């Protein structure tokens, strides 16, 4: 599954970034663009599989969806687009490949459990 491969990379990145501490990881936040090709529901579904046997096995996955936006070179407006518009400006209808948001697939944050 596509999402499982993506999450395996996420798990590895978070483990590396938090290697300095023994604290359990409580929450991992992902920023996922609507045109990244990753489906949030599938990511959630794959999360338990991707984290099994890792330090992230008890961590919760939070997904922040980033709406795709283009900066239209024809009319100069920044427009949110959905997949049905492809890369066509909703305001002026000009096809434009200037996608400024929407392809994000990155770790936004990882929260450690804080000891009392």
What residues pair up with 107 in beta bridges, in sequence order? 30
- In the complex, the smallest distance separating the C-beta of residue 69 from Zn ion, rounded to whole angstroms, is 12
Please pick, from the candidates 4, 71, 91, 107, the single residue that binds Zn ion as defined by CB under 5 A: 91
Sole window of 1-9, 25-33, 57-65, 66-74 interacting with Zn ion (rule: CB under 5 A): 66-74
Please pick, from the candidates 1, 52, 65, 92, the single residue that binds Zn ion as defined by CB under 5 A: 92
Sole window of 14-22, 30-38, 45-53, 65-73 interacting with Zn ion (rule: CB under 5 A): 65-73
DSSP string, the chain: -HHHHHHHHHHHHHHHHTTT--SPEEEEEEEEETTSS--HHHHHHHHHHHHTTSTTTTPEEEEEEEPPEEE-TTT--EEE--GGGTTB-TTT--B---EEES--EEEEEEEEPPP-
- In the complex, the smallest distance separating the C-beta of residue 73 from Zn ion, rounded to whole angstroms, is 8
Q: Which of 24, 90 has the CB closer to Zn ion?
A: 90
Please pick, from the candidates 25, 63, 89, 110, the single residue that binds Zn ion as defined by CB under 5 A: 89
């Amino acid at each position: 599954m596509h999402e499982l491969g993506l999450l395996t990379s996420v798990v590895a990145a978070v483990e590396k970034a938090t290697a300095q501490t023994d604290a359990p990881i409580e929450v991992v936040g992902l920023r996922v663009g609507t045109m990244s090709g990753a489906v949030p529901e599938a990511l959630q579904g794959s999360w338990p599989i991707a984290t099994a046997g890792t330090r992230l096995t008890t961590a919760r996955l939070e997904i922040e969806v980033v709406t795709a936006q283009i900066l239209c070179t024809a009319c100069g407006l920044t427009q949110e687009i959905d997949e049905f518009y492809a890369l066509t400006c909703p305001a002026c209808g000009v096809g434009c490949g200037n996608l400024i948001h929407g392809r994000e697939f990155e770790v936004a944050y990882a929260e450690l459990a804080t000891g009392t």
